Amino acid sequence: MERKVGQISHFFAGPSAAVLKLTSRLKVGDEIHIVGATTDFTDTVTSMQIDHNDVESAWPGDDVAILVKDRVREGDEVFVVEEEVAAQPSWLSTPPAVAPQSTPASTQTPKPMPAPAAPKPVAMPAAKAKPKAKAKPKAKAKPKAKAKRKAKAKAKPKAKAKTKGKSKAKKKKR
């Protein structure tokens, strides 16, 4: 028997962790079944975190990160595998946060609440207080100087190497 506890909203391949948006309670030690278009495996919840803090259990509406043994995809559904004998929801098996008192109500008398104590005024020492140092005026921001453009030097013609004979004759012909 399985009950749906949430849906995958993100997957981190490096640590192989999945983020679940819970619709039901989930706790460390639960066996989960993850089902999707290309995903179908069971795993046990060994670690659970909410906002990078380790937790033992999480409630509906929480975004919880768990370690998974295989790749999952956004939109995959997560189910908790339950035994057939334990047909009641897991949230009923946990004891309530405040246990009911066994004393009869007729013998209990309400105790008056004490008035909150007023804060004591803080006495200032009689010593002479030092005057505050005057704040130095802020320096005015200097305007940034515009970068001057450097004129590009005109390329100078290369000096031709003097060669004997034919090169002079060619120069004269031109």
Residue 109 pLDDT > 70, yes or no? Answer: no
- pTM across the whole model: 0.48
**158's tokens:** 């290369």
Amino acid at 77: E
Give the pLDDT confidence score for residue 57 in this predicted structure.
92
- How confident is residue 52, by pLDDT bands cut at 50, 70 and 90? very high
Residue 150 pLDDT > 90, yes or no? Answer: no
Predicted confidence (pLDDT) per residue in 61-97, tens digit: 999 999 999 999 999 999 999 876 545 555 555 555 5
Residue, of 56 and 103, whose pLDDT is higher: 56
Average pLDDT over residues 96-121: 55
Give the pLDDT confidence score for residue 83 in this predicted structure.
77
Domains of the chain: 2-83 (2.40.30.10)
